[in-house]
Amino acid sequence: MEILVCVKRVPDTAENEFELNSEGNDLDRDDLVYSVNEWDNYAVEEAIQIVDNLGGSITVVTVGDDEAEEVLRREMAMGANNGVLLSDDAFDGSDGRGIAAILKAEVEKGKYDLILTGAQADEGAGQVGGMLAAMLDYPYASLVNKIEPADGKIKVGREIEGGNQEMNEIELPCVLSIQTGINEPRYVGIRGIRKVASVEIPVKGAGDLGVDAGSVGEAGAKIKRVDYFVPDLGDGAEMLEGSTDEIIEKLIEKLKAKGGL
């Protein structure tokens, strides 16, 4: 099985407190900690397990700048065989559709049976997988939390409401977006990182991919982020302050009044 996994370098929500820059139009990015999008690690782990069982190879791809190469190396240290960086100034400011169009061009350069993405990334849209599938006319399933490959087809479980799971059979090639919890992504040690440190990662721009620069990037985007804003602290909640003892005293009174004790 030849598998392509689309990954993304994102600000780590567990490691950062997000502040606005002095102009108030973007995040203050100076001290942000970045990492691989959490969902993508599950997608790469799933690809590794499939290839361990059936043979084949895994390519990880990302659209980004030079720094995005670090997430490709991390996923290669995890077990992906190849990495490809899709990078061009013309790609800057792409909306989800633009990113999907860039990825489509790379998919068409190869011969993949299965394309995996994370269920969502930092923007929370969960859009690229479904768009990519529609552009390629491949079948698609989102929020996948179980995969059982069969001959020329694949059986997938999708997460639906209430803890239930929807089972589908899908023809290959297909695109699946992978939900967390499908597996336990393996630990990546420093030895693994060192092993792939000097592997060459090809970089492809709009010209290499045959992508019309005007159809992607800011020029091609139908969706534009104007600015960021952070809602005020305690907008909804009454914030309890003081020493821990004082806070606990106030809290206990409230819990008694509301039936919590």
Partner 1 sequence: MTQIFAYVPFKNGVAGDVAFEFPGAAKKIDAGASVTAVVSGSGADLEKVANELTKVYAEVIKIDNTALAYPNAEIVRKALTNIIPADAIVLVPHDTFGMDLAPGLSIKLDSAYVADVVDFEGMDGTTLKLIRQELGGAVSTHVTCNAAAGAVITIRPGAFAPVDGGASGAVVDKSGDAGDLSAKRTFLEVVEAEVGDVDITKSDVLVSIGRGIEDEDNIEVAQELADAMGAVVSCSRPIVDAKWLEKSRQVGTSGQTVKPKVYMAMGISGSFQHMGGIKGNPFIVAVNKNPKAPIFQVADVGIVEDILDFMPELQEAIEEL
Please report, as residue ranges, which positions from 62 to 91 form the binding site for partner 1 (by CB under 8 A): none
DSSP string for 82-128: EEEEE--GGGTT--HHHHHHHHHHHHTTS--SEEEEES--TT----H
Please report, as residue ranges, which positions from 108 to 127 form the binding site for partner 1 (by CB under 8 A): 119, 122-127
Rounded CA-CA distance 64/175 in Å is 21
* Per CB under 8 A, 239 contacts partner 1: yes
**Rounded least distance, CB 144 to partner 1, Å:** 10
**Rounded least distance, CB 89 to partner 1, Å:** 22
Which one of 1, 2, 11, 192 is in contact with partner 1 (CB under 8 A)? 11
- Sign of the C-alpha dihedral computed for residues 83, 57, 111 and 126 taken in this order: negative
* Per CB under 8 A, 219 contacts partner 1: no
Which one of 79, 83, 98, 139 is in contact with partner 1 (CB under 8 A)? 139
Amino acid, single-letter form, for residue 182 = I
With CB under 8 A as the contact rule, which of the stretches 69-77, 84-92, 151-159, 200-208 interacts with partner 1? 151-159
Name the token pair of 233. 């602290």
CA-wise closest residue to 239 among 250, 227, 224, 253? 250
With CB under 8 A as the contact rule, which of the stretches 47-55, 56-64, 75-83, 94-102 interacts with partner 1? 94-102
Q: Looking at residue 187, what DSSP letter applies?
A: P
Which one of 83, 96, 98, 217 is in contact with partner 1 (CB under 8 A)? 96
Please report, as residue ranges, which positions from 13 to 32 form the binding site for partner 1 (by CB under 8 A): 13-14, 17-18, 27
**Rounded least distance, CB 85 to partner 1, Å:** 23
Amino acid, single-letter form, for residue 225 = R
* Per CB under 8 A, 170 contacts partner 1: yes
Question: CB under 8 Å to 39, separation ≥6 — which residues?
Answer: 117, 118, 119, 120, 121, 177, 178, 179, 180
* Per CB under 8 A, 53 contacts partner 1: no
Q: Residue count of the chain, please give it.
A: 261
* Segment holding 176, helix H or strand E: strand 174-178
**Rounded least distance, CB 39 to partner 1, Å:** 10
**Rounded least distance, CB 132 to partner 1, Å:** 9
CB 3 within 8 Å of CB 113: yes
**Rounded least distance, CB 175 to partner 1, Å:** 9
